[in-house]
Chains A and B, each alone.
Chain A
Amino acid sequence: MEKTAEEIFQDKIDREIRIEPRDWMPEKYRQTLIRQISQHAHSEIIGMLPEGNWITRAPNLRRKAILLAKVQDEAGHGLYLYSAAETLGISRDEMYEQLHSGRAKYSSIFNYPTLSWADMGAIGWLVDGAAIMNQVPLCRTSYGPYARAMVRVCKEESFHQRQGFEILLTLSKGTQAQRDMAQDALNRWWWPSIMMFGPKDDESPNTVQSMRWKIKRFTNDELRQKFVDICAEQVKILGLTLPDPDLKWNEATGHYDFGVINWDEFWQVVSGNGPCNKQRLDARRKAWNEGAWVREAATAYAAKRAARQAEKRA
């Protein structure tokens, strides 16, 4: 019996053959990818803002250069991801419209404010650390352009987490005021970081389909546990503490137990009530609206020049 297009598609997925832009794919697969990739791209772009907040205040020239390079990398990552989404038939402008109108989501972590220099360390170590944990498996995701974008992102991302840890390490060896600054940053960023992995598995009923399509390769809870296990060890090097009294090694499971996540806060922030949601979106809209005349000018000039060149050839 002739296989259906859907069976051929699933067969490719099962045999770890990447799906490429012109291949047949179920409409829901395409929609799932567009949403996921564009939300990921939006997260990179919005994610530039909290750290960008400290570029002009970085405490020395080395840190200033590193931070600027890092935030610029995030722009690059957003660009790679928007490009990957564009192969699925949506334009970058449409994705921007979704972001600017508030219909599209982005990682809720970026709706928290950066209040001290130590936040640059905490974001690098925890937020980028959590992002990498999510992103590494995505390098093998079933959609080719997405997987290739993620390979590039992961390659560039590796310095981000290291520079963040280095900032915290330096602070932890510094004055009491600096150690307090570092601890305060961990206190504020730890819980939002572990929320980054998304809701618990039993509240994500459709994970099964994403796993079957190999868009997703690990569940939220698996990745979160892995992250907690790693951070609980690394924090010892800093001589600081993670703000969770229930965090302790469990011999039986071979993992760290940790406290209850405040999911109410998570959903409040996702749905627009975080401390900086409005500020972040306003900043993006402002940049986009104020850039409109620049983009139009370049288009107009390109057309004029092309016309002149055509005239010259004629």
Chain B
Amino acid sequence: MQASTNLISTTDFLLHLADNALIMGHRNSEWCGHGPVLEQDIAISNIALDCIGQARNFYQYAARLMGEGHTEDSLAYLRDERAFRNCLICELPNGDWAQTVLRLYFFSTYQYFLFQQLQHNSDAELAGIAAKSLKEVTYHLRWSSEWVIRLGDGTEESRQRILQALDALWPYTGELYTPVAYESVGEADMASIQTAWLDHVKAVLEEATLSMPDMGWMQQGGKTGIHTEHLGYILAEMQFLQRAYPGAEW
């Protein structure tokens, strides 16, 4: 009984990490071909590719633990909205470039501090995936924080846009570092992640000449499958072929 509970928690946690990465990758990939300048179009596609790669590693490991014919694709393409465990912030629409880079910054900062701890997890496979992902996330964090600073301290228009993005995204940041039960598998000290996240964000916002918003009410629910209305549309689009042609190989 104990063992199977642990297994459920472990797979829940892996799916949470995988869903986070997949939905972030999916959203960022929507920029491909539509970026503000060619060089940055390439940059955000690279980041999307990293995220999709992370998702695949976590799904593959979860599928092996779950057995019963599960694969990375059955987990990504055949679970419905309520089974997805990604944080709400990942599924919000891209909005403009300000909202996209600020969301990526918030998310990468969280991933950065989380993976620093996960790379020492007692589960060697999980630790390995975290260590590999950490290298990618370190770059995402650098890239996105520079953009936040640039937009905050750029023109009056860019400043207004990043302020709007801050308003829109801030209520979704608390969920990142507020743990639910299955996150105990991560063996991470979430309180220290919260502190590190807030300190980092404060410093970057300051450099961007922006002030830290009041903590205020935080939206929750994604980690336990209660999503915004946006996720259903992401999945409808993403899963369409697998749903329309059940069992087909692609």
Instruction: Assess whether A91 is interfacial by the CB under 8 Å rule.
Output: no
CB contact under 8 A between A75 and B149, given known A61-B52, A65-B56, A297-B154: no
CB contact under 8 A between A56 and B33, given known A45-B38, A61-B73, A178-B248: no
What 0/1 readout, one digit per residue, does chain A (284-300) give for beta carbons within 8 Å of chain B? 00110011111111101
A78 touching B49 by the CB < 8 A rule?
Answer: no
Instruction: Assess whether B48 is interfacial by the CB under 8 Å rule.
Output: yes
Task: Give every chain B residue within 8 A of A62 (Cβ-Cβ).
Answer: 56
Task: Report the bound CA distance from A62 to B250 in whole Å.
Answer: 10
Q: Which of B126-134, B215-223, B235-243 contacts A (4 or more CB under 8 A)?
A: B235-243
* A67–chain B nearest beta-carbon distance, Å: 9
Task: Give every chain A residue within 8 A of B158 (Cβ-Cβ).
Answer: 293-294, 296-297, 300
B46 touching A295 by the CB < 8 A rule?
Answer: no
Task: Report the bound CA distance from A174 to B250 in whole Å.
Answer: 8
Instruction: Assess whether A175 is interfacial by the CB under 8 Å rule.
Output: yes
Task: Report the bound CA distance from A122 to B231 in whole Å.
Answer: 31
How many chain B residues touch A (CB < 8 A): the figure is: 49
* B231–chain A nearest beta-carbon distance, Å: 13
Task: Give every chain B residue within 8 A of A61 (Cβ-Cβ).
Answer: 22, 52, 55-56, 59, 72-73, 76
* A59–chain B nearest beta-carbon distance, Å: 4
Task: Report the bound CA distance from A117 to B20 in whole Å.
Answer: 26
B38 touching A72 by the CB < 8 A rule?
Answer: no
B53 touching A65 by the CB < 8 A rule?
Answer: yes
Task: Give every chain A residue within 8 A of B32 (Cβ-Cβ).
Answer: 48, 52, 55, 68, 71-72, 75
CB contact under 8 A between A117 and B30, given known A294-B37, A297-B158: no
Instruction: Assess whether B155 is interfacial by the CB under 8 Å rule.
Output: yes
B248 touching A65 by the CB < 8 A rule?
Answer: no
Instruction: Assess whether B120 is interfacial by the CB under 8 Å rule.
Output: no
Task: Give every chain A residue within 8 A of B151 (Cβ-Cβ).
Answer: 294, 297, 301
In chain B, positions 205-250 with a C-beta closer than 8 Å to chain A are 234, 237-238, 240-242, 245, 248-250
- Using a CB–CB cutoff of 8 Å, the interface residues on chain B facing chain A are 22, 26, 29-30, 32-42, 45-46, 48-49, 52-53, 55-56, 59, 72-73, 76-77, 96-97, 149-151, 153-155, 157-158, 161, 234, 237-238, 240-242, 245, 248-250
Q: A58-B241, A293-B157 are in contact. List 14 more A-B contacts (CB 8 A).
A: A56-B234, A61-B22, A61-B73, A68-B49, A72-B45, A167-B250, A171-B250, A178-B248, A283-B33, A287-B35, A290-B36, A294-B37, A294-B158, A295-B37
